[in-house]
Structure 1
């Protein structure tokens, strides 16, 4: 885990329902126990992994699916592809597909004579 990822993880730890003032309620066995996720550079807490980490999709993808990641061609952000042909993250894919559809419709209308050719 890199330092920026560690900082984002530390901020998320405060969202955990077992976190109480730096201590972990789930590990409490009569005496207070410090939250291990708040001091570690790795993912140790199963509860944090299952319940809290999904709140930050980018961080979850970067930490859990490191080997399966691809980079978006448009924005360069890592994303988890749905297929082996995926080239764009979900945010960029909607814009790219919208432009491709508009271009395809313009071409179809031009071929049917519904639009005039662009005047140069």
Structure 2
């Protein structure tokens, strides 16, 4: 399972079954990844993976807890809806929208991604 640590809180993310999520998993099997993330439009946090990953874009409306690949190289964690062509990577587990908003806080964050076989 993908784990994203933000502000000392572990956010478990169940990955979808697509080539984009598989590429993220393979990337993290080499070691953790720390990504500075910016807040955008009071609906998402985004930051660069630093590499181009395969995309599986579809026209979707996000929900709080959706973890998305945008433009093939951006990790995006949504805490409010947005409609666009995105690649679904995964879904935050065990956190309500209010809890997710609290963990992500206001402004920029640093997220540390790790993979754990569970």
Please give the TM-score of this superposition, normalised by the length of structure 1: 0.25
Which has more radius of gyration?
A: 1
Please give the TM-score of this superposition, normalised by the length of structure 2: 0.25
RCO higher in structure (CA 8 A, sep ≥6): 2
Q: Which has the higher helix share?
A: 1
Q: Which has the higher strand share?
A: 2
